[in-house]
Amino acid sequence: MKAGLSIEQMEQELERQERTKRDFISDTRKVTMVGGSYIDLNGDVFGITRHAHAQIAADLSIPKPFYDRLRNDHPGILEGTVNGLWEREPKVKMLRTLDGYLRGYQSNRYRRLDNFDLCNLAVFPALQDFPGIQLVSSGMTDTKMHLKCTLPSLRGEVRVGEIVEAGISISNSEVGDGSVVVDPLLYKLACLNGMIVPMYGQRKMHVGKRVGEQEDAYELYTDETKKIEDMAFWMKVRDTIRGVLTRDVFNKILRKTQEAAGISIQDSVEEAIEMVTTTLSLTERQSKGVLQHLFSSNDMTVWGLANAITRQSQDEEDYGEATRLEREGGRLIELPSSEWTRLAA
């Protein structure tokens, strides 16, 4: 599993972002795109992240490839198009900024379920109920936060001597790139592979009451009413975490892995790699890496293939992409037995 940030580094980054981020509610007629790369918000100028560019394009129904072409080759045309649509078809939007960049361009119904509150009001209090739990990996990308923990007291064997540990994966996006997600995690001790198993996870959406429709852009501050309203949500997240880290959930996942370990792909390795490459949208480099890890393990089973995918995640530079492969490995063992049989054939 990719290590990412230490717990100290993650805590420091959460605190830094909590202090420096700025959120606004604005009528789009008060927002101006400048040169295709910046926005002017009542005199405050911000760069625009790739994610925010994509959100603007989607909101204005501009095809992303065309939007990108204008941004790269004809920024003046993009500026005029975006500003014209903002003026002629006004909307009230939430604009989330950090470190001098517009990072989120969202509906004013978007509920701010931020990483700092998620950790301090839900994750850390819930994990205190599990003595010995360990944070083994964490990461912060441009759009998401990831936390991955294991529970050494909850273990089992996929095969004799092949020990796996229960764990949990928690992720969140403050900028509309997904909801709060709590998934079980399976941790293989021999190779330190982490496999996320979405089948038994939970997702909590960022949709809430409309924030406001003021004419002018203004900085949005958190008040006591919002804190009280959100506390009920965080309590549900706590319950979800406690519900995922149970012997019952772990045993269900363990049975799936044991079934997967009993299905050979010895006679269909190339077909299996081709299938996962297409299904999981692997690059040529990733596909070759998965094949190499599969042969290195000499475990020509569905379980072995799933582990080759999660092992490849350790070779990824981008933490978000590494996490995606950990999740895709988990999806593979979730396939019905009929699919495994078809794969083996």
Give pLDDT tens digits for 134-167.
999 999 999 999 999 999 999 999 999 999 999 9
Domain boundaries, the chain: 18-107, 115-202+221-249, 253-344
pLDDT of residue 2: 77
Give pLDDT tens digits for 17-64.
999 999 999 999 999 999 999 999 989 999 999 999 999 999 999 999
Measure the CA–CA gap between 173 and 323, rounded to whole angstroms. 14
Of residues 5 and 295, more confidence is placed in 295
Q: Does residue 92 carry a pLDDT above 90?
A: yes
pLDDT of residue 340: 66
pLDDT of residue 210: 47
Q: Does residue 345 carry a pLDDT above 70?
A: no
Report the percent of the chain where pLDDT is more than 70: 91
pLDDT of residue 252: 93
Give pLDDT tens digits for 187-240.
988 777 889 988 776 665 555 444 444 444 434 545 676 677 788 889 999 999
| Upper half-sphere CA count for residue 28 (Cβ side, 13 Å) | 20
Rounded average pLDDT over 337-345: 66
Among 149, 147, 169, 59, CA closest to 104:
59
Q: Which of 124-128, 162-166, 278-282, 338-342 is predicted with the least confidence, judged by mean pLDDT?
A: 338-342
Measure the CA–CA gap between 257 and 332, rounded to whole angstroms. 10
CB 303, CB 169: distance < 8 Å: no
Measure the CA–CA gap between 322 and 199, rounded to whole angstroms. 19
Report the percent of the chain where pLDDT is more than 90: 70
Give the model's confidence band at 248: pLDDT under 50 very low, under 70 low, under 90 confident, else very high. very high
pLDDT of residue 230: 80
Give the model's confidence band at 266: pLDDT under 50 very low, under 70 low, under 90 confident, else very high. confident
pLDDT of residue 192: 76
Q: What's the distance, Cα to Cα, between the start and end of the chain in Å? A: 31
Mean of per-residue pLDDT scores for the chain: 88
pLDDT of residue 308: 94
